[in-house]
Structure 1
């Protein structure tokens, strides 16, 4: 068994337990750690020492659990995981009850199992660096903290204060954690950690955890305290409102918190282990770990980026169009320290675009998340202008004007006249094929699509679209840019609607089609919520606007006619036309499927009942939910089949980060994998017979199902 903890003693008779996994960049909580820790605590009990310092040789303090093994947990291996987890907890318990002070010295990020290890120490000291992240984010991968993290956090903070930290998986800076009382001391440098730890040990020769001290009471009150009892009475329903029953981890965390608070410490940690193993066995955690950890880390590790092209940072970016998208792109660049030229037809419009950044930054300053000096520095990076000449020196220009070919061609040629030959020109179009737009360019090999999502400051995805003549260099540099501004890139090939817009349209159209069948509008929206979508299909149609959908349809029909292709009418289109005839185009025009009162929340337009509802029409909730999920998954397979998508990884990440496909599924393609390909094909054929040919499973899907393969 690999020894991952080194045991050393210094001149002050203090034992240093050094986390140092051989031939690895990070320390992991696995069977090697469990066995090494057990061996170490046995050695401690037989030794004479003043105290213990726990520290790491890695850039991070501790990376947490071994997800590559957790994701494989099944009925057969669950007992093994339970035993390993209990072994680690038993060793932690010995460490915190052996009567000598134990100090965690944190010089790098400690998340998940790493922070749980620190919580098992009597004193925690960290370098005061905002890049260091501390916390228990297991819930974001469908798991819960299984090494005592829930039990110790609740006993340190109380039920009410611990709930948001645990159920939302917050990652905090050392300063924030100290403010909560979970971190005892901050130092300015790594060198000061040992001195601080030594001082504590020498000043506190014996130490105990708060919950082991005589007279300990749970902070904030026990479960039976009136204030806590009233909070716990509504907490499950509030949690279910957020999770919509799709995510078992938050509810399991709440159960562990409440059950664990009513029993002794050892029983509480065993309860935690049982819930932890149950989640690890489940499919939701496997879906989320596969996509939101492994596949996302592949993107960050440049797996999809062309090799043999040196990475490059951009020094100056131009943005054409200072509307909401252009202003958002300018903000995304400036907050990452990149100078931006924000151009519009008038200086006044460009200044309005800059004001968008001012408003966002003002909010951060007012919340204490940014200094006013830093805000001024960021704003100074944005240069509003109405002159194309100011684009000189830009090594990337992003066009974000209206979806009009002639206008895009005009601004492309105007900008290119000012650029060096190696500058990249990108279009932020969401639907128009890049190859066609590149015809206006003198350098189509440097022309590419960078499709941002609104609002840019919040949405993490950028869809990179390669035209037929786009060079590998332009792709590599665009990939670098997306990472430089802290976004997540996916790569797709050119087509109408690319991947995200094309698949997203199937979701909204399916919801509208159901309305046209006479189904209840509220039932349609609820089917979206209960499937895990952030917004129902009718509400999101109002955000997009039905008039834009009609324009896209018209342009698509013209394009297909020019290419000699046949346009297939979707049943949603007649409903869109009727809504437009009634001047119900969407939120921006005053109302669409919803009404938007000036005061109060939006509500479904009562006229939907009069114009579309058929009292005798109803289908099962399962059918409604699966129509929304299946139609997006099927269209994604078509994108793979047509080589619009290059990888299932980009499909999964793009669907979750860009178009709101439920994260519990692991993404559009993982949804098919976890459903089972043969079962998915069978169900798709049922939906086709019931609701239309659009649910017919693509050839690629049928072939993989017949061969017993997965995506």
Structure 2
């Protein structure tokens, strides 16, 4: 090939023309700066390709992804958009220019030779044809952060895959593989090997000497059913999803120029909005930091070849599956072999689902299942590098199984209790060496819930913490580290969510309103539905484990006892806060005739605030008491552990969005509803200072 590199693109892009006059554009990655201004960088790429189009002798153009391999720096992009007053115009120019490329009729092909997500994939849509290698990961994950992928995605994607698929792909945060992308029309061709892409691209150009001009107008239209299903899940809380819906609805009535302007305006507005910033901080940077190895020193002579799990119930079985999937040998012990085998059957069930979906083959299934040894013999735990106790939430039972099994740990091993709320310091007394004892609170179902709350007891040492972090990361979990205390962090604030639901019922607020507004506020499940799901008897048992109960908790406790005496024990009993119809598997909210309804209907905002604020307030107490080290741990734990409204960025993100003075004012108006609303003096003082827990991406908590 003869190289023709323009002066403007010398440092970043390489252009090569072959003897057929097909031009190939690629990035000179070795010359890329550590930090790039993504919009200026794409402007340069568009200029290079424009120059190629304007060369009369060039018959077609091929380019690889102009975005360097790796993730988009959301923080940097946000800062650049905020700092540059003409950034919106720059983005519009890039997208509009790329959208007019095929006015020249010259065929343009993009080659996807590495994973492309977000803006990287958007740039691939600018071509007339997309060719990819197998086993890539593609998609638009920005919706997880309240954003959407701009840069022409809502304009170029619908003609390829239709409005409904576009809406789904751009708002659900899901990633797809090469084959699925090809099947839906996102890709035009798949090659067997990476080295074949260039020749296939050239052949396509020769076969298509002219291409039709791009038009965003198509016959694909968004149906009301398409929009309803997405809005039902998003509940109008995610601005990126709202933007995509609006753009897809309007696109058939707009010119190309109007579509580009509308998309870019919404994109830049969202990039500067506080909600998405909070979500990026928590769910992208916070999670990435939690999963980094920087908190772990090099552990000499410590391996994770074998772990023992005590209890083959739902939690123990789920942990066993995750460990086996990570390639760790597991002894799954229960009181008898039948129960242990039943625990392994859960792993078999999960594997069968993956087989049907094509995400696992039989060889992988056999290998995973071979790692799990069901057993009733404590001696099978011999030489375990870690033993995780996952039995029923009873202090004495946990102490008994700990004493029986701890002698079988390897010399460098540690013991972990998977407990929801029992104090780790007290549980550690069952061993002679509490420094090797720690809490690892997994969430159910373990195979789908990413969080692990690691709880340090008073005598847990740093090495044990690092071993627990090593295990959590090996299981591909997101760990947060908290200090010991009743309920730790996640369970403690979640108990307040459930308490507030019961409290409002006793006040005469309709149970249906409580549940509806919980969902509208962004919670995964309403508090009363949660209580039915876990069973009212289990909630009483949890209350029994707490060292003391204040008056509001006692009222809730007594009401739960009353419901249980009426046979309303929860979902399994067919009745609780809901009535359950076993014939059609539907549930309807139950209204207790003995509770007098309030004369004045409470506003939706009132109910939502109480449910959100009560968890955020107790999160602050956890921070002030040292249960939490930093606000980001609370934000991650609240969203990923107990389903707090993710659009806020977490409990402390919620306070910052509300502003602390208004938050404190709201809580003061709620103080007549119970002790859960008592305000620490330190929080009142911070409100007087108009304190914010974050300044952008930086924590201000010392």
Determine if the TM-score, normalized by the shorter chain, exceeds 0.5: yes
Alignment counterpart, residue 147 of structure 1, candidates 151, 162, 185: 151
Alignment of 1:104-253 (within 5 A): 104-129=110-135, 132-208=136-212, 211-212=214-215, 218=218, 221-223=219-221, 232-253=223-244
Closer, same or farther: CA 621–66 of 1 in aligned 2, 3 Å: closer
Name the SS of the counterpart of 2:384 in structure 1.
coil
Alignment of 1:43-62 (within 5 A): 43-47=51-55, 48-55=57-64, 61=69
Closer, same or farther: CA 237–609 of 1 in aligned 2, 3 Å: farther
What CA distance in whole angstroms lies between the structure 2 residues aligned with 1:30 and 1:406? 58
Closer, same or farther: CA 26–345 of 1 in aligned 2, 3 Å: farther
CA positional deviation for 1:626: 0.4
What CA distance in whole angstroms lies between the structure 1 residues aligned with 2:119 and 2:74? 10
Alignment counterpart, residue 6 of structure 1, candidates 10, 13, 18: 13
Deviates more, 1:504-513 or 1:177-186: 177-186
Structure 2 counterpart of 1:374: 364
**TM-score, structure 1 normalization:** 0.90
Structure 2 counterpart of 1:272: 263
What CA distance in whole angstroms lies between the structure 1 residues aligned with 2:381 and 2:341? 16
Closer, same or farther: CA 294–62 of 1 in aligned 2, 3 Å: closer
Closer, same or farther: CA 451–62 of 1 in aligned 2, 3 Å: closer
Q: Is structure 2 residue 282 aligned with structure 1 residue 291?
A: yes
What CA distance in whole angstroms lies between the structure 2 residues aligned with 1:137 and 1:411? 44
Structure 2 counterpart of 1:703: 685
Alignment of 1:542-581 (within 5 A): 542-557=532-547, 560=548, 569-581=553-565
CA positional deviation for 1:168: 1.6
Name the SS of the counterpart of 2:281 in structure 1.
helix
Q: Is structure 2 residue 383 aligned with structure 1 residue 393?
A: yes
Closer, same or farther: CA 480–202 of 1 in aligned 2, 3 Å: farther
Q: Deviations over 1:399-434 (max 9, x none)?
A: 101112222122212222222121121110111111
Structure 2 counterpart of 1:30: 38
Structure 2 counterpart of 1:637: 620
CA positional deviation for 1:318: 1.4
Contact kept? 2:390, 2:417, Cα under 8 Å: yes
CA positional deviation for 1:368: 3.1
Structure 1 gaps, min length 5: none
Structure 2 gaps, min length 5: 1-7, 694-702
Contact kept? 2:422, 2:487, Cα under 8 Å: yes
Structure 1 counterpart of 2:48: 40
What CA distance in whole angstroms lies between the structure 1 residues aligned with 2:434 and 2:402? 11
Alignment counterpart, residue 654 of structure 1, candidates 630, 637, 641: 637
Name the SS of the counterpart of 1:105 in structure 2.
strand
Name the SS of the counterpart of 2:157 in structure 1.
helix
Q: Deviations over 1:155-208 (max 9, x none)?
A: 112223322112223211112111112112333443333333333334444445
Closer, same or farther: CA 35–463 of 1 in aligned 2, 3 Å: same
Q: Is structure 2 residue 423 aligned with structure 1 residue 420?
A: no
Q: Is structure 2 residue 574 aligned with structure 1 residue 590?
A: yes
Root mean square deviation, CA, Å? 2.7
What CA distance in whole angstroms lies between the structure 2 residues aligned with 1:16 and 1:469? 62
Q: Is structure 2 residue 318 aligned with structure 1 residue 328?
A: yes
Contact kept? 1:27, 1:62, Cα under 8 Å: no
What CA distance in whole angstroms lies between the structure 2 residues aligned with 1:604 and 1:253? 34
Contact kept? 1:483, 1:489, Cα under 8 Å: yes
Name the SS of the counterpart of 1:609 in structure 2.
coil
Q: Deviations over 1:369-409 (max 9, x none)?
A: 32233222222221101111211232111110111222212
Structure 2 counterpart of 1:679: 662
What CA distance in whole angstroms lies between the structure 2 residues aligned with 1:242 and 1:549? 28
Contact kept? 2:497, 2:527, Cα under 8 Å: yes
Closer, same or farther: CA 321–632 of 1 in aligned 2, 3 Å: same
CA positional deviation for 1:355: 0.8
Closer, same or farther: CA 91–475 of 1 in aligned 2, 3 Å: farther
What CA distance in whole angstroms lies between the structure 2 residues aligned with 1:61 and 1:183? 19
Contact kept? 2:508, 2:598, Cα under 8 Å: yes
Closer, same or farther: CA 271–569 of 1 in aligned 2, 3 Å: closer
Alignment counterpart, residue 663 of structure 1, candidates 630, 646, 657: 646
What CA distance in whole angstroms lies between the structure 2 residues aligned with 1:2 and 1:668? 46
Deviates more, 1:2-11 or 1:144-153: 2-11
Q: Deviations over 1:205-243 (max 9, x none)?
A: 44456x45xxx973xx344xxxx6xxx234444333222
Deviates more, 1:135-144 or 1:633-642: 135-144
CA positional deviation for 1:72: 7.8
Q: Is structure 2 residue 584 aligned with structure 1 residue 600?
A: yes
Closer, same or farther: CA 275–556 of 1 in aligned 2, 3 Å: same
CA positional deviation for 1:20: 4.7
Closer, same or farther: CA 45–312 of 1 in aligned 2, 3 Å: farther
What CA distance in whole angstroms lies between the structure 2 residues aligned with 1:682 and 1:572? 25
Name the SS of the counterpart of 2:86 in structure 1.
helix
What CA distance in whole angstroms lies between the structure 1 residues aligned with 2:41 and 2:248? 26
CA positional deviation for 1:312: 6.8
What CA distance in whole angstroms lies between the structure 2 residues aligned with 1:399 and 1:343? 10
Q: Deviations over 1:335-356 (max 9, x none)?
A: 2222211110101100011111
Contact kept? 2:303, 2:385, Cα under 8 Å: no
What CA distance in whole angstroms lies between the structure 2 residues aligned with 1:503 and 1:638? 10
Closer, same or farther: CA 312–185 of 1 in aligned 2, 3 Å: farther
Q: Is structure 2 residue 95 aligned with structure 1 residue 89?
A: yes
Name the SS of the counterpart of 2:253 in structure 1.
coil
Deviates more, 1:497-506 or 1:42-51: 42-51
Alignment counterpart, residue 496 of structure 1, candidates 449, 474, 486: 486
What CA distance in whole angstroms lies between the structure 2 residues aligned with 1:525 and 1:312? 48
Alignment counterpart, residue 540 of structure 1, candidates 525, 530, 533: 530
Q: Deviations over 1:225-267 (max 9, x none)?
A: xxx6xxx234444333222232232222112112113334333
What CA distance in whole angstroms lies between the structure 2 residues aligned with 1:603 and 1:700? 44
Closer, same or farther: CA 49–69 of 1 in aligned 2, 3 Å: same
Contact kept? 1:143, 1:279, Cα under 8 Å: yes
